[in-house]
Structure 1
Amino acid sequence: MVEEEERLAEEEEKQYEKRTVQDLTELKMRVNAPIELVRKVVKLAGFTNSMGRPRPIKLLLCLDDADIIKWYAGVGRRLLDCFCCCRNFKMVKTVVSYHLRFSCFLTLAEKHECTKRQAISYYTKDLKVANDDGVTEVHFPTEREIKMMGDKNLFDPKPVDGTLTMILVRLAVDDSSYPCLAHFCAKMDTVLYRIRLLQNRLNVDPLNEKKWVLGLSAIHESLNKKCLPLCSMHASDLLLGNITLQDIDCTQFVDVE
């Protein structure tokens, strides 16, 4: 028994030496993702319960089905992009593929008052949803796509902070007289959205280490409940995380009672 343990330890040490030499040869900097902090922020943001199991986020029930899925997809893709260079990237993929995906299913099931099984059957495991033209789209990374993701080089990803703490609520206002506030977009066919910051409803305090993750920022309180007109493309991009509020002209918010 002791000899077997020594043999396994020796093999593991050799594998570590081999990986280290390979990383140095390829001039790669390899780090480990702070997986415990990732799990903590996922829990604080409401994706999981105290037992670490997926749960619905009831604050999203007011959104359209497509917007709910896009919001989850934006968070998931940013997490994958942010930690794609890490040695333990597989653990991050599990958080996205399991915790976020099934939290999305539970949220959709809660909205339509059905079971999780019925939601999975309707949207499929790939979370397919029809757009305004009736065309089926897939926004959330599929299980196969996540599984096939490999290690990538370090780059400058968009931060996941804002995506975790903000949702866009579509207003039932039939007024398209406002131009899209995305930079360099002059489209007049817009929809009004209201920014809602989740930290006000989730007992999250970015200034309190016990109620948030140290070093992880949040959107400023002054933007809560602000209204902005966006065209369909930029509204989708903002939900999916392709753009941030830095790409929006925040000086032109609309006053809506």
Structure 2
Amino acid sequence: MPIKARKALEEEERRVEEEEEQKYAKRTVEDLTRLCMKVSAPIQLIRKAVKMSGLTNNMGRPRPISLLIAQEDTDIIKWYAGVGKRWLDFFCCCHNFRMVKTVITYHLRFSCILTLTEKHESTKREAIRHYKKDLKVLDVSGKEEVHFPTEREVKMMGDKNISDPKPVDGTLSLALVRLDSDEKSHTCIAHFYERKDTIMYSMRLLQNLLNVNPLDEVKWVKGMGAIHESLNRKCLPLCYDHIHDLYTGKITLQDIDCTSFVDVD
């Protein structure tokens, strides 16, 4: 078959497949609307998780997370953006999604701003003036690299949009502390990757900092992911691309070779 004809055939097959997917999504929305099926996000558990992880104080107001202050500004924003986007993706089909939006757009956003404020010993107004409310981070070429979900993006989410929820892993209970190490360069421990321009990070787990057993449903948040405590303070070399992907949720710890952790004195 001529190349041009084969490409035309493949294009037609792709178009038909996309149309079928769109029709299926439309029928699904119509069926769920007609049957009045409702899924509720566990708002109380979300608020408990936010409080336990240090994002809010006893009054329920945003507060800085001291563990993140030692990190680069970019990594701080990536951590918050990763948690926020995961939750928005996971709960976007819930009928009380508006309440989830409030937690993301207010508690997480302003906790991030306050963390940056405390790190630089500045005011909240100065932090907002520098990073804007969308907390945008630019790369060396001046191109936008990552940003916290904008208020416009959050507002448009959840309006009869059906999507496969992405798994919410234990990122909320994990912080990566960048280390200044004199060790020789190590290979990035992402699977099937041999890049050597890596940065050493040490893992810090929330349950160890709080001295809480994740199996204790009274003190821990039921259903909230937890990373095994054996990984606490383990050191892992990651390249710039994969630390970005880990923060933003494009990869998880399952995509990392956990047998290649490095011991750093």
**2:104 partner letter:** V
Cα distance in 2 for partners of 1:58, 1:245 equals 24
Moved more, 87-96 or 199-208: 199-208
How far 1:196 sits from its partner (Å)? 1.1
**2:73 partner letter:** D
3-state SS in 1 of match to 2:202: strand
User: Cα distance 1:24–1:101, how it changes in 2: closer, same or farther (>3 A)?
Assistant: closer
Q: Specify the alignment match of 2:126 in structure 1.
A: 118
Asked whether the 8 Å contact 1:23–1:30 carries over to 2, the reply is: no
Cα distance in 1 for partners of 2:32, 2:195 equals 50
**1:158 partner letter:** P
Percent sequence identity over aligned pairs: 65
Q: Specify the alignment match of 2:244 in structure 1.
A: 236
How far 1:175 sits from its partner (Å)? 4.8
**Across the two proteins, how many residue pairs are aligned to each other?**
236
3-state SS in 2 of match to 1:192: strand
Q: Specify the alignment match of 2:167 in structure 1.
A: 158
How far 1:204 sits from its partner (Å)? 3.8
User: Cα distance 1:227–1:25, how it changes in 2: closer, same or farther (>3 A)?
Assistant: closer
Cα distance in 1 for partners of 2:258, 2:32 equals 45
2:106 corresponds, among 98, 102, 110, to 98
3-state SS in 1 of match to 2:200: strand
Which ranges of structure 1 fall in alignment gaps of 5 or more residues?
Answer: 1-20
Cα distance in 1 for partners of 2:32, 2:65 equals 44
1:189 paired with 2:197, answer: yes
Q: Specify the alignment match of 2:44 in structure 1.
A: 36
Moved more, 235-244 or 245-254: 235-244
Cα distance in 1 for partners of 2:212, 2:116 equals 23
Cα distance in 2 for partners of 1:92, 1:106 equals 20
Superposition CA RMSD, Å: 2.1
2:261 corresponds, among 247, 253, 257, to 253
Cα distance in 1 for partners of 2:238, 2:37 equals 40
How far 1:129 sits from its partner (Å)? 2.4
User: Cα distance 1:203–1:48, how it changes in 2: closer, same or farther (>3 A)?
Assistant: farther
Asked whether the 8 Å contact 1:54–1:100 carries over to 2, the reply is: yes
Q: Over residues 81-105 of structure 1, what are the superposed CA-to-partner deviations in whole Å (9 max), with x where a residue is unaligned? A: 1101111111111110110000000
3-state SS in 2 of match to 1:228: strand
How far 1:184 sits from its partner (Å)? 2.0
1:214 paired with 2:199, answer: no
1:57 corresponds, among 65, 78, 102, to 65
**2:247 partner letter:** L
Asked whether the 8 Å contact 2:91–2:165 carries over to 1, the reply is: no
Q: Over residues 7-32 of structure 1, what are the superposed CA-to-partner deviations in whole Å (9 max), with x where a residue is unaligned? A: xxxxxxxxxxxxxx965466785301
Asked whether the 8 Å contact 1:40–1:213 carries over to 2, the reply is: yes
Cα distance in 1 for partners of 2:58, 2:106 equals 16
Asked whether the 8 Å contact 1:70–1:240 carries over to 2, the reply is: yes
Moved more, 68-77 or 189-198: 189-198
How far 1:167 sits from its partner (Å)? 1.0
Q: Specify the alignment match of 1:78 in structure 2.
A: 86
3-state SS in 1 of match to 2:218: coil
Cα distance in 1 for partners of 2:135, 2:53 equals 21
How far 1:190 sits from its partner (Å)? 1.2
2:137 corresponds, among 107, 129, 137, to 129
Which ranges of structure 2 fall in alignment gaps of 5 or more residues?
Answer: 1-28
Q: Over residues 146-170 of structure 1, what are the superposed CA-to-partner deviations in whole Å (9 max), with x where a residue is unaligned? A: 112134325241214x111111111
Query: What TM-score, normalized by structure 2, do the two folds share?
Result: 0.83
